[in-house]
Amino acid sequence: MKKKVIILGAGITGLVTAYYFSQDKDFEVTLIEKNKYVGGTAMAFEYKDFILDYGPHKIYTVLPGIINEIEKVTPLLKVKKQNSIYLKNNFFDFPLKISQIAQKMPFTALSSGIDIFTKSFSKLPDDSYENFLINRFGKTMYELAFKDYARKVWTSHPQELDKELAIRRVAISGVFELIKGILFKDTGKISADYFYYPPKGIKQLLDSLVKEIKKNKGKILLQKEISEIKLKSHKIDYIKIGNKKIKPDYLISTIYLDSLLDLVKNQKNINEQKEMAGNLHYQKLNILYLILNKKRALKDCWVFFPEKKFLFHRISEQKAFSEQTSPENKTALMVETTKELNELNINIIIQQLKSIGILNENEIQEYFTKSLDRVYPIYKKGFLKNLHFALDKVESIEDVYTIGRPGLFNYNNMDQCWDMAKKTFEHIKQGKTKQDWQKTKNYFDSYRIVD
C-alpha cells in the first residue's frame, strides 16, 4: 500500500517536496496551502503585461546538482550579475572594491585602513551582530555598510541582534577574507558573477512544479489548513482537516514553527512551548512596484541602500532578470522597505529615487504595493535557546518533519529549500529514522547564502 505523505505549505520547499514524493510510486502526496496561491515568500504574479516577483528572486547555488534538478522542471537563463551599493552619493560595485572606495571616499578608505592595521577593532566581546561585525570589518566599514542596514531591515538596534545573524547573512567572515577574495579574484565564495533565472520569471518555476505534481497525481489543496495534530506515544494518531480525520504516515511541515506547534494539541508543556516558539519574531516586508514608461531604469539588477536617510533598503528591476518579464518600452522597479507604504512615504520614496537620478515623476505610469507579514526572521540575542526548544519538540515526534525557511526559522534561499526538500524525500524513502535526521539537520544549518 502507498504511504500517505501530507505536506503543509506550498512555498518553494513544500512544492519541491511534493514534486519528489509525487514521482515515487510508493507514496501518495497531498500538499495543503492556506493561501489561494502557491509560492509563499517566492510568490510571483502577472500584472498587465508584466510577470513580477515578490522582490527579486535570482537562482544561484554552490550546492552540487541543484541547478540540474531545477532544469528538469523549467528552462533557465544564465544572467550576468550586476549590482551596486549606494553610499555617500555614489554608486559602488557590490561587493565593495577597495580601489573604488579609495578613489571615491579616500578618508573612509584611510580610516578603514587604520582600523585594519592597528587591529584596534578586535577587542570587543563577540556577543552581538554589532560586535561580531566590528571585530571583523572594523568600525568604519561596519558603520558604513552594516549598521543602518540592520536597523532598516530588522528594525532593531544592532546591539540587540544575535551574532548568528551576521554569521548566516554576511557571507564573508572578515575584511582579510574580503581583500584576499578581491586580490586573488576568488569572489565565488562571497558573491556570484552570474545567476540563473527562468525566462518567464519565478512564476514559470512555480507553474511548472504545480503541473508536475498534478501530472504525477499529487493533490494540491489551496485555502485549506489543518486544525489539529493528535499524538499517541510520540507518533501521529490523526490530523484534522475540517471535520475529516486522516492518519498520514508522514507529515512534512514547511509552515512557521510556532503555527505547527500550535496544532499539536496533546503535547506536554504546551504553554511553555507556545511561549518559546512565539518568541521567534519576524519582520514584515513591503514592496512598492513602480511601473515606468521607459525601457530601463537601472544599469544594475539590484542596488542596496544601507544609509538611514533612504526609506528603503533595496531596489531592483524585474527586466534585468529577464527581458521576457516586461514589455519592450516599459519597466517595473521594485522598492523593498520595512516602512509602511502610506501616501506620505510613497511620495518621499519617489522624491528620493528622483534625487539620485533613477526616475522622473512623469515617467511613472502607475504604482501599487504588496506586503507579506512574516518575512525576515529577527535573530534577537539568545534566540537560539527558543529555537532549539521549539525544534526539539518537533523532533520528538517520530513521523513529523519541519523544514524550509519558516519551518527552521532560517534565511535559506530557494536553492537550499530545493536541497532540503530532496534530502527529506531521500531520508524518508530510505526508511531512515529521527536518529539519522540530526545529521541531515546539522547539514541544513551549515548552508550559507552567497549573493
Write the binding mask 27 to 56 for ligand FAD: x where contact by CB under 6 A, - elsewhere: -----xxxx----xxx------------xx
Helix (H, G, I), strand (E, B) or coil at 69: helix
* Count of CA atoms in the C-beta half-sphere (13 A) of 194: 7
- C-alpha cell belonging to residue 142: 561596519
CB of 403 to ligand FAD, least distance (A): 7
Q: How many other CB atoms are there within 10 angstroms of residue 50's CB atom? A: 18
Mention every residue, 6+ apart, whose C-beta is less than 8 A from residue 29.
Answer: 5, 6, 7, 18, 21, 22, 213, 218, 219
Q: With helix as H, strand as E and coil as C, how does 287-309 read? A: EEEEEECCCCCCCCCEEECCCCC
| 255 in contact with ligand FAD (CB under 6 A) | yes
Q: Which is nearer to ligand FAD, 32 or 261 (CB)?
A: 32
- C-alpha cell belonging to residue 251: 507529515
Write the binding mask 279 to 298 for ligand FAD: x where contact by CB under 6 A, - elsewhere: ------x-------------
Q: How many residues bind ligand FAD, per CB under 6 A?
A: 35
Q: Which is nearer to ligand FAD, 61 or 140 (CB)?
A: 61
The whole-angstrom separation of Cα 367 and Cα 90 is: 27
Q: In the window 139-168, what residues touch ligand FAD (CB under 6 A)? A: none
| 11 in contact with ligand FAD (CB under 6 A) | yes
CB of 420 to ligand FAD, least distance (A): 8
- C-alpha cell belonging to residue 111: 580610516
* Cα dist from 204 to 81, 130, 322, whole Å: 20, 39, 12
Candidates 161-169, 179-187, 394-402, 411-419: pick the segment binding ligand FAD (CB under 6 A): 411-419
CB of 102 to ligand FAD, least distance (A): 30
**C-beta of residue 399 within 8 angstroms of C-beta of residue 231:** no
Name the CA dihedral angle for 139, 145, 146, 151, rounded to a multiple of 10 degrees.
120
The whole-angstrom separation of Cα 429 and Cα 424 is: 8
Mutual angle of helices 12-22 and 201-215, in 10-degree steps: 30
Nearest partner of 57 among 72, 39, 35, 73, judged by Cα: 39
Candidates 63-71, 349-357, 406-414, 435-443: pick the segment binding ligand FAD (CB under 6 A): 406-414
CB of 385 to ligand FAD, least distance (A): 23
| 171 in contact with ligand FAD (CB under 6 A) | no
Among 52, 58, 205, 289, binds ligand FAD (CB under 6 A): 58
| 350 in contact with ligand FAD (CB under 6 A) | no
Q: Which is nearer to ligand FAD, 205 or 291 (CB)?
A: 205
**What distance lies between CA 426 and its chain's CA centroid?**
24
Among 135, 325, 337, 413, binds ligand FAD (CB under 6 A): 413
| 405 in contact with ligand FAD (CB under 6 A) | yes
CB of 23 to ligand FAD, least distance (A): 19
Among 5, 6, 7, 8, binds ligand FAD (CB under 6 A): 8
Binding-site ranges for ligand FAD (CB under 6 A)? 8-14, 32-35, 40-42, 55-59, 225, 254-256, 259, 285, 336, 375, 404-406, 412-415, 417
